[in-house]
């Protein structure tokens, strides 16, 4: 399955100092130029607070960047994938998911054939997404999006949504549409993707226990 991501709201930033221990991070909205697309700004908040609470949290700003993955990232990508896809396996009541059983060699091989991007929080790899140009079977180029994932403790702050925006933005100029798949019972993912303009396509092929979603590429984005 292609997704293990988040869809929480992003509370406004405050300039006061947080009072709780062990801060976690939530995305700060910012108007970014095309050249700054890879920059993600977070502000801290108490870890015990809910990402979906809608409350305002104080804190300083931490900057994370979306960067291209390299072969040295393969082992951490494998660990992150398994941590995220266990959630998908539970939601869809099946552990017959390739992401949960693929070898490290397969992860490395995929890095050579997919455009893969990662986000690190310090030294820790916390999120990733990838894209690959494929043919839709009728000669039309499609940008296939896969493995959109955010570490479980970082979910709910909008990082997955930001990665989804990024992978669409870096698609080759001749790609005419976007395609991805997610679990049939991953209702939260369905809602996130539909909000982003994707449409459920049960009429199209998909892996077992999964469903395909597609989205036409806006003319101005090509």
Q: Which of 4-8, 83-87, 213-217 has the highest mean pLDDT?
A: 213-217
Which domains does the chain possess?
Answer: 67-221 (3.40.630.30)
Between the alpha carbon of residue 3 and those of residues 130, 175, 211, the distances in Å are 11, 21, 11
Residue 94 and residue 181: Cα distance in Å, rounded? 16
Average pLDDT over residues 184-188: 80
Residue 209 and residue 97: Cα distance in Å, rounded? 9
Q: Are 221 and 181 in contact (CB under 8 A)?
A: no
Tens digits of per-residue pLDDT, 154-177? 888 889 999 999 999 999 999 999
pLDDT value for 210: 84
Tens digits of per-residue pLDDT, 91-150? 766 666 677 678 999 999 999 999 999 999 999 999 999 999 999 888 899 999 999 999
Residue 34 and residue 79: Cα distance in Å, rounded? 31
Residue 28 and residue 10: Cα distance in Å, rounded? 7
pLDDT value for 157: 84
pLDDT value for 38: 67
pLDDT value for 188: 84
Question: What is the token pair recorded at 33?
Answer: 């130029």
Least confident segment among 15-24, 40-49, 68-77, 201-210 = 15-24
Helices (H) and strands (E) in the chain, counts: 4, 10
User: Bridge-partner residues for 211, per DSSP?
Assistant: 182
Question: What is the token pair recorded at 189?
Answer: 């993912």
Question: What is the token pair recorded at 167?
Answer: 């992978």
Q: What single-letter DSSP state applies at residue 219?
A: G
pTM comes to 0.72
């Amino acid at each position: 399955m292609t997704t293990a991501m988040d869809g929480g709201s992003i509370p406004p930033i405050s300039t006061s100092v947080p009072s709780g221990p062990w801060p976690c991070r939530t995305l700060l909205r910012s108007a970014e130029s095309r050249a700054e697309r890879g920059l993600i700004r977070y502000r801290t908040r108490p870890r015990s607070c809910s990402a979906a609470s809608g409350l305002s949290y104080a804190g300083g700003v931490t900057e994370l960047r979306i960067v291209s993955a390299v072969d040295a990232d393969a082992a951490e990508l494998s660990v992150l994938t398994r941590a995220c896809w266990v959630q998908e396996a539970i939601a869809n009541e099946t552990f017959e998911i390739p992401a949960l059983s693929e070898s490290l060699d397969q992860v490395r091989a995929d890095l050579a054939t997919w455009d893969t991007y990662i986000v690190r929080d310090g030294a820790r790899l916390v999120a990733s997404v990838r894209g690959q140009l494929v043919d839709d079977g009728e000669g039309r180029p499609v940008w296939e999006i896969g493995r959109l994932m955010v570490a479980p403790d970082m979910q709910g702050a909008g990082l997955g949504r930001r990665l989804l925006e990024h992978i669409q933005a870096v698609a080759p100029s001749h790609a005419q549409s976007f395609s991805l798949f997610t679990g049939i019972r991953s209702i939260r993912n369905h809602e996130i993707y539909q909000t982003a303009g994707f449409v459920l396509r049960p009429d199209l092929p998909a892996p077992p226990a999964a469903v395909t979603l597609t989205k036409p590429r806006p003319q101005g984005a090509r």
